[in-house]
Chain A
């Protein structure tokens, strides 16, 4: 029975391989259907096998992959109380997004490449989620990076898209290096890469080593999850097709960092400094993303920055010791952010392939279904009371506040401010896109198909996600509600420190959160309910360009790198090495010509030389004879 767990990995892998190898020979319907079926079957299987995660969970080990001295790494799966909900979420959301992609990609020529990469992505993501050792996790970690690269640059004929793919790959690689160092360090000091064993034996590490490893793990997580300071790739990653943004850059891959920290939470939590760093990174990124989202003009970039910001909340949760809070927010966020992205894909199609929200407007009448779905996602994102996003965000803020020292209070303050900004930019988005009249809507000609109705499969994948997002709070209601703390109870000790807070405090914070959302909504209504052309001040541009992070990095890293490259190319290679070799060759050539001048080819000069040589020899012998007596 437990061996069926392998099928979870195998199904998407086989689906991806079939599409990669023979996909172009299959019909579009068959290749897409295969991809959907593979992931859908994995989701059904995950649901069916869910009981295996109960208790201590189930471990299965297929074979030893690397075996050398002390290092023993196997293809082992760990299906426990942490990985099971995550795996279920990944497969379920993936299934819906694959279905959506069937409609979205209906006119693309390279459907096989798309579905192959999408399926392989699910495989790699499940590797991360289900791995029982860090080496296998790292394999999946790199796998999702590769698939993400391939899918961001899916329309690679435009250099902009290919560059975005490269950027995502390179920036996340920076984080991967930290993660790899952390793995080596862990293996060097504890002699194992097994996740359970690492968590159990972490206490044996020296405090300094623990802090170092925690920070390195944070570095790895930061790269994958687009947190400060490695966040610049996520907004550009929106160059990929919308299903990719929904699946990889909202629901699953960017949360892999959070999952990694939760997976190793028993280890990470031993280092107070590491936790504080995680909380700080999370809070700052949440704030950074929210401010940037306030002034973005492309609908998908707004959502990208909001993803960054929400993942920041999850980091914050891990940092304040509430791994279950992080997982809770991860799950609800996956639902509503996938929903928002997919609805955004519909919105873009309805607006005639227009990305700019300042040129949309009035879309509510065009498709009420899309509007209501998008609104449901937006309510969750803004944290309107009783939606999933409200409860999960509130749990995080409560956990931060209840730690009760200056650091955590300031982190809470930053989080609360971010919650206000979140409501503001979310409702700005809703107002600009759906309210009022269509602006600038006369679409540029040549966009085939904008008048076609949306495929049914694109529209009808939205309501299930909307339901999941709105009802996501049921997963983990706060204390005092019926069915409270389902996820906390399920995760048990894996969920991190229990939040100790009085009921009154909890209600107060909920009230504060509600008030913040209300203020954000009122401000958004006041500023954006009636369209005004966007301001162009210095601050607006600063936020639009994401705090100039790209330019700062260009000055800090890219330009020095290019300068060093130029120096090595022009200076060292061309001047020093090539010049040295050329000089040596020239010298030898010149010497050769000098010697060659003696070989005149004229018989007479040879004969003269012969005679002179003979004369010289005779003279030598004569002189010797005479001198020697």
Chain B
């Protein structure tokens, strides 16, 4: 393995935290979705790294599933974003507070 596993984990953790930061700090729905993608990719990276470390295919299989899942998720969420934009004319997440108690 060319890259040490620790480096893989660090990069993956950085990606996860950056994605989390985007999710938490951004107000734009699309940017929040991008943050989610970054977090998922961070996790995927860690899985691939682990798979390479232990020479087993489980991690890679999981990542393939993850990609398929993510593609579906993005399709649905982008469709919803379009619908929400049509509805309220805005992509600001805080505009959608109809569920306020």
Report A's interface with B, CB cutoff 8 A: 595-604, 607-608, 611
Contact = CB atoms under 8 A, between A and B. Distances in A.
Nearest to B29: A603
Nearest to B35: A607
Nearest to B25: A604
B56 interface: no
Given A603-B93, A611-B23, 13 more contacts: A599-B99, A599-B100, A601-B100, A602-B94, A602-B100, A603-B32, A603-B96, A604-B27, A604-B93, A604-B94, A607-B24, A607-B32, A611-B24
A611 B25 CA distance: 12
Q: Which of the listed residues A596, A597, A598, A607 has the most CB atoms from chain B within 10 Å of its own CB? A: A607
B20 A611 contact: yes
A602 B97 contact: yes
25 contacts: A595-B101, A596-B101, A597-B101, A598-B101, A599-B99, A599-B100, A600-B97, A600-B101, A601-B99, A601-B100, A601-B101, A602-B93, A602-B94, A602-B97, A603-B32, A603-B93, A603-B94, A603-B96, A604-B24, A604-B27, A604-B93, A604-B94, A607-B23, A607-B24, A611-B20
A597 to B, nearest CB: 7
B47 to A, nearest CB: 18
A601 B97 contact: yes
A599 B99 CA distance: 7
Contacts of B100: 599-602
Contacts of A599: 99-101
Interface of B: 20, 23-24, 27, 32, 93-94, 96-101
Q: Which of the listed residues A599, A600, A604, A608 has the most CB atoms from chain B within 10 Å of its own CB? A: A604
Given A599-B99, A601-B99, A601-B100, A608 B94 contact: no
A602 B97 CA distance: 5
Contacts of A597: 101
A100 to B, nearest CB: 79
A138 to B, nearest CB: 65
Contacts of B101: 595-601
Contacts of B27: 604
Contacts of B94: 602-604
A96 to B, nearest CB: 82
A604 B98 CA distance: 14
B9 to A, nearest CB: 15
A604 B29 CA distance: 10
The 7 closest A-B pairs by CB, nearest first: A601-B100, A601-B97, A596-B101, A599-B101, A603-B93, A601-B99, A602-B94
A597 B100 CA distance: 8
A601 to B, nearest CB: 3
A419 to B, nearest CB: 88
Contacts of A611: 20, 23-24
Nearest to B98: A601
A596 B100 CA distance: 8
A431 to B, nearest CB: 89
Contacts of A596: 101
Contacts of B96: 601, 603
Q: Which of the listed residues A597, A601, A603, A608 has the most CB atoms from chain B within 10 Å of its own CB? A: A603
B23 to A, nearest CB: 6
Contacts of A608: 24
A603 B32 CA distance: 10
A549 to B, nearest CB: 67
A599 B97 CA distance: 9
Contacts of B23: 607, 611
A597 B99 CA distance: 11
A434 B101 CA distance: 88
Q: Which of the listed residues B93, B99, B101 has the most CB atoms from chain A within 10 Å of its own CB? A: B101
Contacts of B93: 602-604
A621 to B, nearest CB: 16
A602 B96 CA distance: 7
Nearest to B26: A604
Contacts of A607: 23-24, 32
A500 B24 CA distance: 117
A227 B76 CA distance: 93
B69 to A, nearest CB: 19
A607 B23 CA distance: 8
Nearest to B97: A601
B66 to A, nearest CB: 18
A610 to B, nearest CB: 9
A356 to B, nearest CB: 75
Contacts of A598: 101
Contacts of A602: 93-94, 97, 100
A52 B96 CA distance: 98
A600 B97 CA distance: 7
Contacts of A601: 96-101
Contacts of A595: 101
Contacts of B99: 599, 601
Nearest to B36: A607
A603 B101 CA distance: 13
A164 B97 CA distance: 68
Nearest to A600: B100
A307 to B, nearest CB: 76
Contacts of B97: 600-602
A159 B16 CA distance: 87
A600 B32 CA distance: 18
A603 B30 CA distance: 13
B12 to A, nearest CB: 15
Contacts of B20: 611
B97 to A, nearest CB: 3
A607 B20 CA distance: 9
Contacts of B32: 603, 607
Contacts of B24: 604, 607-608, 611
A595 B96 CA distance: 20
Nearest to A599: B101
Nearest to B21: A611
A608 B26 CA distance: 11
A385 B24 CA distance: 117
